[in-house]
Every structure is written in C-alpha cells, then in structure tokens.
Amino acid sequence: MIGMNARADSRDGGKDGPLAGRRAWISGASSGIGLACARALRGAGAELVLCARRADRLQQLTVELGGAGVLALDVTDRAAVERELAGMEVDIVINNAGLALGVDKLSAGDPADWQRVIDTNVMGVLSVTRALLPGMLARGRGDVLMIGSVAGRQVYPGGGVYCASKHAVRAIYEALRLEHVGSGVRFSTVDPGMVTNTEFSNVRLRGDEARVKAVYQGVDPLQPQDVAEAVLWILTRPPHVNVGELVLWASAQASTTSVHRRPG
Ligand code: NDP
Ligand code: 8X3
C-alpha cells in the first residue's frame, strides 16, 4: 500500500439513479477507463470506492464526484489488498487496473517487465476478487466485471506477455462464472480494442510521445467513455440477465493487427 486516507467505508446514500444504493469498487480509477467508469457509475447513483496508487488523483476525483471512498493501494501488494479489503462490503467490483510494458519480442523482453505485467493484470485481479467476492456470495448478489482486452482473444507480435495476461483474465472470468452459477453474483468481461485518452500507451512506451502519437495516427479509437457506457449498460441489466462477454472495437479496427488508418 502506498498510503491511504480514510478507510473507504463511509456511506453516502444520497444519489438517485439506476445504481442508487449499490456500492462499487473500481481499481485503476485515477485515469483512463477506470476514471470514466467512476464518473459513469457515480452519475448512475452508485457509491464508489476508488483504488489506484496515486492518492492525489483520487482525492481530486472525489471532489468532482461529490464524495467517494478512496483507497491508495497497489494491487500487486497481496498482503495490503487482503488487509485493506477485509470485511469491505461492495455490490460491484470492476477489475480495471492494468498495464502493458514495452513492445519487445519475447526473445528480447525484460523479465522484470513481464513480472510487473503479470503481477498487476493477473495477480491483482485474483487478489482483489478473492478479497471481495466471498462477501458478495454470502449476500447472494453482486457484479464482478473485468476490463479485459481484445488482447485476451488475439495475440500480436510484441504483445506476448500482455496478451497472455489478458487471456488469463478471460480464463479467470470464465472460471468464476462456472464456479458460481446460481449464486446471484454475475460475472462479466468487457474487452476493448484500442482506447485513446488514457495513459496506457504512455506507460507502455515509457513516455515516448512520438510513438504514442503514432499508435492512434489516422484512427478514431474508442474513448474511455465508450467503455464506461458499456460497463454501465451491463450493470443495469435486470438480475436475470448476465452479459458475459462484450467486445468493443473502434470501427476502424478489425483485429489487433488490422487497423484502417486515414492517409496523411
Ligand atoms: P491507464 O494507464 O490510463 O489506467 C491504468 C490505471 O491502472 C491507472 O488508474 C493506474 O493508476 C492503475 N494501476 C496501474 N497499476 C496499478 C497497481 N499496481 N495498483 C493499482 N492501480 C494500478 O490505462 P487504461 O485506462 O487504458 O487501462 C485500464 C485497463 O484497460 C487496463 O487493464 C488495460 O489493460 C485495459 N485496456 C486498455 C486499452 C487501451 O487501448 N487503452 C484497450 C483494452 C483494454 P495508478 O498509476 O495511479 O496506480
Ligand atoms: C490494449 C489494446 O491492442 O494495444 O489492451 O493490446 S492492444
């Protein structure tokens, strides 16, 4: 854990909307897709518990959202996850925190990067889910939603470890749905293609602005809000409907390796 303020258990039940009275945990809420999900869910009336490592970002967000629980937590720190999430009651878990590092071929990759990607994208999802799911099962309701990726369905050169991690996320989602059928808890994965206006490519390409720009050159990629709207739609289906897997592409992207770019 990197530092935490107020243990995130203050309740604010004052908001109206389709998610009023439901409490949502969102990892990776300090930027990009997680931030957009926080805004969307709050707009729909949910109480929020926001998680990321950058507490200052989360604090700013709570002001914008008119209140939220904040937990500055590194999801790779399993002991901290277990300690801080013990006994926490939530109705919705959004496992969004994740990253890719580099675009090296496997023969040239850095094992330290591999470790961090696997620890965050796979072990982080497992640790958080293990901490929060038993309470949901005991209460007989809830939603556990992964932000996967099309990289969990296809692979591409230079993406081996990231793709492996997202394939693992999809396997975890599938196993959970099989293990807990009939429990009242729903499991979903939202798998987007390329999404801009997040820090994903800046992190992956270590701040190389020219290369980051090239990723999205001549394309209208998905926006974080597009993903958040899909998440909100899934969460607001009636209880007998479990949207399992939702793949979201930019219109200009046909696969992880096929992107139509405007010339110029
Ligand atoms: P961002 O880099 O903008 O967001 C990543 C978030 O994860 C940040 O809030 C970051 O916060 C948090 N995070 C990273 N590591 C940790 C950690 N160890 N513990 C806690 N929080 C952590 O990227 P996106 O919004 O694009 O990515 C969100 C998810 O969407 C990821 O799982 C990514 O794989 C997936 N995705 C992204 C796509 C894209 O094209 N952008 C496409 C498909 C899927 P902080 O640094 O403050 O900890
Ligand atoms: C991010 C999408 O295609 O860069 O998950 O792997 S991609």
* 53 C-beta closer than 6 A to ligand 1: yes
Instruction: Please tell me the distance between residue 190's alpha carbon and the centre of ligand 2 in angstroms.
Output: 13
Query: Relative to the CA of 30, which ligand 1 atom is closest?
Result: 9
Query: Relative to the CA of 162, which ligand 2 atom is closest?
Result: 6
Token pair for residue 51?
């998680």
Q: Which ligand is nearest to the CA of 199?
A: 1
Residue 260 belongs to a domain: no
Query: Relative to the CA of 163, which ligand 2 atom is closest?
Result: 6
Q: Give me the phi and psi of 63, to 5 degrees please.
A: -65, -50
Instruction: Please tell me the distance between residue 171's alpha carbon and the centre of ligand 1 in angstroms.
Output: 19
Q: Which ligand is nearest to the CA of 122?
A: 1
Instruction: Please tell me the distance between residue 200's alpha carbon and the centre of ligand 1 in angstroms.
Output: 6
The one catalytic residue in 156, 162, 173, 216 is 162
pLDDT of residue 14: 57
Which residue matches tokens 């002001």?
63
Residue 124 belongs to a domain: yes
Instruction: Please tell me the distance between residue 228's alpha carbon and the centre of ligand 2 in angstroms.
Output: 17
DSSP state of 107: G
- Are 71 and 28 a contacting pair, CB within 8 Å? no
Return the amino acid letter for 176: L
Q: What is the CB < 6 Å shell around ligand 2?
A: 149-151, 159, 193-194, 256
- pLDDT per residue as tens, the chain (264 positions): 333 333 343 455 458 999 999 999 999 999 999 999 999 999 999 999 999 999 999 999 999 999 999 999 999 999 999 999 999 999 999 999 999 999 999 999 999 999 999 999 999 999 999 999 999 999 999 999 999 999 999 999 999 999 999 999 999 999 999 999 999 999 999 999 999 999 999 999 999 999 999 999 999 999 999 999 999 999 999 999 999 999 999 999 999 999 999 997
Instruction: Please tell me the distance between residue 98's alpha carbon and the centre of ligand 1 in angstroms.
Output: 4
- Distance CA(168)–CA(55), nearest Å, equals 28
Residue 191 belongs to a domain: yes
Query: Relative to the CA of 54, which ligand 1 atom is closest?
Result: 47
Residue 93 belongs to a domain: yes
Q: How many CB atoms lie within 10 A of CB 118?
A: 17
Task: With CA atoms as reference, report the closest residue to 55 among 116, 128, 124, 1.
Answer: 1
Residue 262 belongs to a domain: no
Domain of residue 217: give its range.
3-8+17-248
**Number of separate domains in the chain:** 1
Annotation says 162 is catalytic: yes
Token pair for residue 9?
């258990």
* 30 C-beta closer than 6 A to ligand 1: yes
Residue 253 belongs to a domain: no
Residue 61 belongs to a domain: yes
Residue 254 belongs to a domain: no
CATH number of domain containing 181 = 3.40.50.720
- Distance CA(200)–CA(202), nearest Å, equals 6
* 261 C-beta closer than 6 A to ligand 1: no
